[in-house]
């Protein structure tokens, strides 16, 4: 365990040296600033345009509009977190193998498994900070400007982080036997497949097309990343949106908690596969 923490600290320091953290924080703050400014003007305009049909109805309509805008911001945060996870893991093993840096590490009395777990842990901590900074900043901005707090915010943000962690793990797994460029292509291709499969399932549910729904479910089993976002959106959307599907982020076919558990098992299997492939690779 000591070796794993040592590699994790080295990975974290390397991320600081390469200014990955600094770049992520700066871009994250720019996104939050743009989102806050945009949300402010949209909220002001919506407050003026919403019909006056009694205080209760007006507040309900405003809350629904704010919830939709917040989910739009969190959807962007999810994509940025996924991209960060993919970029962190894409070159972590392959790049060090090509440069010969990895030989310096494995020449010491450190197991290859410790190297993989240490790097994964270091990036997982880094990604947690980024994902929670972005998600928390988005929710905080909405609360400061409108006073609105979404339902089940903690579980929703945790699911967003789990999705980015899953993509990061897949990226590290591919990096154990592919180059950094090939890893990026494969990971973003898989993410795109999950995205399309999710929409196929949603549209199939609306049209009651069982074949389309099954295609979406099979895609979710191949890579369950988008299912985690749909579950997060379901957790954080209002009960009215969930019931009548009035928001573009409403989920008709809601992933069950079993799918979340499947995603966790999927992540663990990918991590174990990474260790196995890295142990067998000729350095």
At 200-244, the pLDDT tens digits run 888 887 788 888 888 888 898 899 999 999 899 888 887 766 555
Give me the mean pLDDT over the 249-257 stretch. 75
At 170-198, the pLDDT tens digits run 999 998 888 878 888 899 899 999 989 88
CA 261 to chain centre: 16
CA 243 to chain centre: 25
Q: How far is it, in rounded angstroms, from Cα 95 to Cα 26?
A: 25
Q: What is the pLDDT of residue 23?
A: 82
Please work out, in degrees rounded to the nearest 5, the angle formed at the alpha carbon of residue 31 by the alpha carbons of 202 and 27. 115
Q: Is the pLDDT of residue 20 over 80?
A: no
Please report, for residues 18, 77, 167, 222, the alpha-carbon distance to residue 190 in angstroms, rounded to integers and kept in the order given. Answer: 27, 19, 9, 9
Q: What is the pLDDT of residue 246?
A: 56
Which has the higher per-residue pLDDT, 19 or 52? 19
Q: What is the pLDDT of residue 271?
A: 94
Lowest mean pLDDT among 108-112, 165-169, 270-274: 108-112
Q: What does pLDDT average to over the chain?
A: 84
Q: What is the pLDDT of residue 58?
A: 67
Long-range contacts of range 276-279, CB-CB < 8 Å, 24 or more positions apart? Answer: 277/173, 277/176, 277/177, 278/93, 278/112, 278/113, 278/115, 278/116, 278/176, 279/112, 279/113
Q: What is the pLDDT of residue 160?
A: 95
User: Biggest alpha carbon distance in the chain?
Assistant: 73
Q: What is the pLDDT of residue 48?
A: 73
Q: What is the pLDDT of residue 208?
A: 81
At 34-89, the pLDDT tens digits run 999 999 998 888 777 666 555 666 677 787 888 888 999 999 999 999 999 988 88
With pLDDT > 70 as the criterion, what percentage of the chain qualifies? 86
Task: Return all residues near 69 (Cβ < 8 A) that are at least 6 apart.
Answer: 39, 42, 43, 142
Q: What is the pLDDT of residue 164?
A: 95
At 75-121, the pLDDT tens digits run 999 999 999 998 888 877 776 677 666 666 666 677 878 888 999 99
Please report, for residues 58, 67, 80, 149, 238, the alpha-carbon distance to residue 233 in angstroms, rounded to integers and kept in the order given. Answer: 23, 10, 16, 14, 10
């Amino acid at each position: 365990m000591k070796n794993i923490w040592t590699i994790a600290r080295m990975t974290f320091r390397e991320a600081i040296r390469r200014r990955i953290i600094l770049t992520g924080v700066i871009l994250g703050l720019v996104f939050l600033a743009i989102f806050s400014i945009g949300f402010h003007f949209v909220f002001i305009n919506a407050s003026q345009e919403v019909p006056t049909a009694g205080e209760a109805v007006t507040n309900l309509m405003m809350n629904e509009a704010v919830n939709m805008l917040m989910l739009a911001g969190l959807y962007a945060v999810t994509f940025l977190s996924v991209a960060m996870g993919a970029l962190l893991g894409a070159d972590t093993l392959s790049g060090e193998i090509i440069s010969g840096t990895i030989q310096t590490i494995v020449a010491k009395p450190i197991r290859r498994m410790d190297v993989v777990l240490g790097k994964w842990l270091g990036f997982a901590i880094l990604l947690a900070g980024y994902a929670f900074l972005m998600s928390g900043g988005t929710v905080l901005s909405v609360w400061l400007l409108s006073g609105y707090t979404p339902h089940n915010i903690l579980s929703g943000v945790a699911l967003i982080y789990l999705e980015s962690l899953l993509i990061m793990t897949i990226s590290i797994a591919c990096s154990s036997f592919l180059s950094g460029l090939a890893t990026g292509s494969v990971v973003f291709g898989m993410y795109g497949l999950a995205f399309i499969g999710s929409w196929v399932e949603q549209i199939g549910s609306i049209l009651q097309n069982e074949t389309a729904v099954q295609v979406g479910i099979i895609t979710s089993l191949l890579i369950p990343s988008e299912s985690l976002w749909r579950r997060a959106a379901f957790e954080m959307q209002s009960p009215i949106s969930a019931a009548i599907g009035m928001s573009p982020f409403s989920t008709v076919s809601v992933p069950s908690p079993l799918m979340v558990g499947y995603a966790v098992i999927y992540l663990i299997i990918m991590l174990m596969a990474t260790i196995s492939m890295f142990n067998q690779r000729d350095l």
